Amino acid sequence: MIKNKYLAFLTLVFFIYNTSSISLENKILVKIEDQIITSLDVINEYNYLVAMNPSIKNSKKEDILKFSKRSIMQERIKKIEIENNFNNPKIPQKIQDQILKNIYSKIGFTNLYDFKEYLDNNDINFENVKNKLAIEALWNELILIKFSSKVKINKKKLRDKIENNNNKFLKSLLLSEIYFEIKNINELDNKFMEISQVIKNKGFDFAALEYSLSTTSNFGGKLDWINESSLNKNIIAAISNLEINEFTKPIVVPGGFLILKINEIKNTKIKIDVEKEFKKLEDFEKNYQLNQYSKIYFNRIKKDLKISEL
C-alpha cells in the first residue's frame, strides 16, 4: 500500500538521452528488453510535457522531442523494474485522486473536470496520464520498500530546530530545481555557464527539461511550497540573498549539483505546532535520503538492461 507521506518525494538521477534527430513517422526508435518505444510514443510524450509546462510551448520542437525521448525511456525502465517486483501492481483510488490533484493544481486548475478538458484540447489521453502517474507512484513505493530501513533521522536535532524557531516568522519558499551531474569537477564552471545561458534565453522551465536529471524536469523543475526551516544549511546559505526569479550557483548535493530558483516567498508570523512541524521535517528528511537511494538504484538497474536505440 502506497503511503501518503511519501507520494511527494522526488526520485532523482536518470541517464543522458541520445541527441540524434527523431523522425515524426511512426517507427520503432528504442528497444528496452521486450519494451519498444515508437516515434508516436515520443510525440505523445511531447504533447504531455508541453501541456505540463506551457512556458516551453514556443521552444524548438526538435529540442522538446529530445527531452520527450529521454523521459519515455526513463519511464519504461521504471515500468520494467516495477513489473519485476510487484504482481498486478495497482494504485488505490484515493491515492490516485490525490496525485492527480497535486498535478493539476501545479498548472493552475482547481478541479479534475477542467484538467481533463485541458488534456483533451491538447490531444492527450487522460488514461495515459493516469498510467504515467501510477508508474511514478509505484516506483516511489518500490524505493520505499527497498530502502526505508536505511533511512536515519536525528529526531532530537529536528525538534531542537523547531523549538529554536518557535513563535517567529515562518518563511516559506516556492522553488524550482535543476539537478545535474558532471564527470569531472573541472567541468563545473563551464556547465553552469551553459545552463545559466539557457535559463536566461529560454527560461528555467526549458532549462530544467534539457538539463535536469530529476523527474521534476517534466514539470519545469517545479517543487511544492517548502518551509525554509526544512532546508539544510547549505541550501539556506545559497538562497538567503536571492530575490524572486533569481537562481543559485550550483549547490553540492550527494551525487551531483543542484540549481534552485525562487518563484515566490511567503512570510507568516505563527506559533508553530511543534508536533505537526516535526512530522513535516521528518518526512522531508526521509524523502531527501530516499531520493539518493533512488538515483543509485535506477542507475544500477539501467546498466543491467539491454537497451538498443535503432
The answer on pLDDT for 16 being more than 50 is no
pLDDT of res. 22: 39
pLDDT of res. 112: 94
pLDDT of res. 169: 67
CA distance 9 to 286: 9
- What CATH number does the domain located at 4-150+294-309 have? 1.10.4030
Cell numbers for 257: 549539483
Q: Select from 203, 167, 161 the least CA-distant residue to 53.
A: 203
Each residue of 213-234: pLDDT tens digit? 888 888 899 998 888 877 888 8
pTM: predicted TM-score of the whole model, two decimal places: 0.69
What does pLDDT average to over the chain? 85
Q: So where are the chain's domains? A: 4-150+294-309, 168-270
Each residue of 116-169: pLDDT tens digit? 999 999 999 999 999 999 999 999 999 999 999 998 888 888 777 777 666 566
- What CATH number does the domain located at 168-270 have? 3.10.50.40
- State the CB neighbour count (10 A cutoff) for residue 204: 25
